[in-house]
Homo-oligomer: A and B are copies of this chain.
Amino acid sequence: MTTTPTVTTGPLPASTKVFRPGEIHSDIRVPMRQIALHPSAGEPPVTVYDSSGPYTDPGAEIAIERGLPRPRDSWIMARGDVESYDGRHVKPEDNGFVSGDRLTPEFPIRHRPLRAQGDRAVTQLAYARAGIVTPEMEFVAIRENLGRKAIREKLARDGESFGAAVPDFVTPEFVRDEVACGRAIIPANINHPELEPMAIGRNFLVKINANIGNSAVTSSMAEEVEKMVWAIRWGADTVMDLSTGRNIHNIREWIIRNSPVPIGTVPLYQALEKVGGMAEELSWEVFRDTLIEQAEQGVDYFTIHAGLRLPHIPLTVDRVTGIVSRGGSIMAKWCLHHHRESFLYEHFEEICDICRAYDVSFSLGDGLRPGSIADANDAAQFAELETLGELTRIAWARDCQVMIEGPGHVPMHKIKENMDKQLAICGEAPFYTLGPLTTDIAPGYDHITSGIGAAMIGWFGTAMLCYVTPKEHLGLPDRDDVKTGVITYKIAAHAADLAKGHPAARTRDDALSRARFEFRWEDQFNLSLDPDTARAFHDQTLPKEAHKLAHFCSMCGPKFCSMRISHDIRAEAQKEGMAAMARKYREGGDLYIPAPQEA
């Protein structure tokens, strides 16, 4: 390789990356983003959750051929329960049998993989159950708080959480407890030491996932790494690599070595590539080998479609859109062809044994999710969910971390049933949904049809929302689509946090609204989810720098600006003694309450 691809780096506007140390584990450095406000605000910086990794840190030297620093190495080794070994050698089929110029080069550094010693469980769940607060857990606790300790006196709790129990302040012990009971996961493969740990659970901030991945025709390693960096820059908490084309092994290695967020995959996609795309040729042996291949690379969670069983398939025959999950349709085809129960279901315990040896979390796939409004909440979907509940208990019995995937296409009135059933059937394991899309009639805008459903199901208790881009159903997302999808889902997740009554969620809304009311335009841009777009939209109408100090906006012009008039009112009220007016009003004095003139 002669050229080093570049990725997007540099801080967001007015933002500084700060690091908080641990108290139990002094060597951990938890990143947060502080957004500075204009001095006229007289307010401290606003601290926000930062999933963007070292790429937004001007102090970090980025070179994707070296990969990111590996802070978790020492944490993992300190536990004394792993061993390094040679690992599986890359086979030609791992990269779709390409060679020569068409082969994506291997990542330049080969790290020897780790695995559990003997039969030991090296999962966060196992440690949590043993009462151990790992560095990962403390990292998560500090990360979730965002300086909440400082402001908790000021904020009254206000929300409807539907049984979630978001604490005022997240302690490391609270994280341990949530992980121990399976209500949260920390996806953190021991072979992904570059990771900045994060939690997925109903009592934490709602998270979002962005999908990337090459396909048959397109994309290179450099593009995929940049897509990951770009997605986390705008707020993706995890990234799934859904590649189905060639070079799948080598591209994944580049992604993981450069990813500060958990990487998820659907191992079935690569397994299918290895058997030439013929579903019926799949076997447990090929699949098992793929799991080990990916676990050694450091994949943090696997989507496993083990809930789709042979007897479920007849339930899909009268559906309007059949089986729309790729993994689900592949397994259905295999089951029908062989007239046998799914090998994923039959070998589920062995899959657990692999996951527990590397701490790969399960994302139990919903192969029978509805692909249309007509098919929402049908017998096939809920039959599979029952199986997912059964598999959750099996995985938990083996100390494996589990989350559950959910739909899909669901009209608004059927969304809550999905959440309620999932909580009941899967013992409160975190729910991870795709949207759901609330109508089928808007291809080209499915980030919006699904953003509506995502906000609602996030409110009801879904722990992570899988983004949908404007290209859904139509084509492959480009850079702009990825950003639009991520921002839309940050909106949905944040709207959910607000509605759940997360104790600090409103901090940023209030800071932005005060900036808006006080015409601090720069602060308004900087506090927004996408400062670049906010600024560009403003400048389209009022391009001059002076307008950013103007006490009016482009919609109304100076005379009509309601916020400006509100300021006049406030000034007048202070002059007149508004408090006195208000008191008279409350006392029922008739100066301010003319008697009704109408009967």
Contact with B along A176-202 (1 / 0, CB 8 A): 000000000000000000000000000
Which residues on B sit within 8 Å (CB–CB) of A556? Answer: 215, 244, 326
Residues of B within 8 Å of A346, CB to CB, are 597
A315 in the interface (beta carbon within 8 A): yes
The smallest C-beta distance from A379 to any residue of chain B, in angstroms, reads: 10
Interface residue A41 (Cβ < 8 Å from any Cβ of B): no
Nearest B residue to A311 by beta-carbon distance? B592
Instruction: Report A304-332 residues with CB < 8 Å from chain B CB.
Output: 310-311, 313-317, 320-326, 328-330, 332
**Any B CB within 8 A of the CB of A110:** no
The smallest beta-carbon distance between A419 and chain B, in angstroms, is 14
Which one of A567, A572, A579 has the greatest number of beta carbons of chain B within 10 Å? A572
Bound: A317/B509 CA distance, A? 19
- CB distance A565 to B279 under 8 Å? yes
**Complex Cα spacing A585 to B309, Å:** 12
Contact call B596/A374, Cβ cutoff below 8 A:
no
Grouping DSSP codes into helix (H, G, I), strand (E, B) and loop, the A interface class, with mixed when no group exceeds half, is helix
Q: Which B residues lie within 8 Å of A572 (CB)?
A: 336-337
Contact A557 B215, CB 8 Å, known A329-B569, A541-B476? yes
A 68-124 contacts with B by CB, 8 A: none
Bound Cα distance from A448 to B487, whole angstroms: 10
Q: Are B475 and A542 in contact (CB under 8 A)?
A: yes
Whether a CB of chain B sits under 8 angstroms from the CB of A351 is no
Given A159-B413, A443-B534, A510-B320, A498:B562 Cβ within 8 A: no
How far does the Cβ of A440 sit from chain B's closest Cβ, in whole Å? 4
Q: Which positions 535-575 of chain A face chain B at CB distance < 8 Å?
A: 536-538, 540-542, 553-563, 565-570, 572-573
Instruction: Find residues 213-237 in chain A having any chain B CB closer than 8 Å to their own CB.
Output: 215-218
A411 at the interface (CB under 8 A from B): yes
With a cutoff of 8 Å between Cβ atoms, the chain B residues found around residue A567 in the complex are 322
Task: Please give the distance in Å from A322's CB to the nearest CB on chain B.
Answer: 3
Contact partner of A451 (CB less than 8 A), chosen from B448, B536, B559, is: B448
Please tell me if the beta carbons of A560 and B326 are within 8 angstroms of each other in the complex.
yes
Q: Does any Cβ of B come within 8 Å of A23's Cβ?
A: no
A328–B536 CA distance with the chains assembled, in angstroms:
29
| In the assembled complex, A1 has its CB within 8 A of some CB on chain B | no
Q: Closest approach, in angstroms, between the C-beta of A237 and any C-beta of chain B? A: 17
Cβ–Cβ contact A473 & B333, under 8 A:
no
- The verdict on A151 contacting chain B, using a C-beta distance below 8 Å, is no
Residues of chain B within 8 A (CB-CB) of A329 are: 562-563, 565-566, 569
The docked-state distance in angstroms from the alpha carbon of A333 to that of B244 is 63
A209 to nearest B CB, angstroms? 16
Q: Tell me if A150 counts as interface (CB < 8 A to partner B).
A: no
- Min Cβ gap A116→B in Å is 22
Question: From residue A248, how far is it (CB to closest CB) to chain B in Å?
Answer: 12
Query: What 1/0 mask marks residues of chain A from 392 to 418 whose CB sits below 8 Å from any chain B CB?
Result: 011000000000000001011100000
Whether A565 contacts B332 in the complex (CB less than 8 A), given A508-B441, A513-B321, A594-B341, comes out as: yes
**Interface window among A5-13, A285-293, A488-496:** A488-496
**Distance A490 CA – B372 CA, assembled complex (angstroms):** 18
Nearest Cβ distance between residue A377 and chain B, in whole angstroms?
A: 10
Q: Write 21 A-B pairs (CB below 8 A) sorted by A numbering.
A: A216-B559, A269-B560, A277-B560, A313-B581, A316-B569, A317-B579, A320-B513, A320-B517, A322-B517, A329-B565, A371-B513, A371-B563, A372-B513, A373-B509, A393-B598, A440-B516, A441-B528, A448-B451, A448-B491, A471-B537, A474-B553
Closest A-B pairs by Cβ, 9 of them = A322-B566, A475-B541, A372-B513, A216-B557, A314-B582, A277-B559, A329-B565, A412-B499, A329-B562
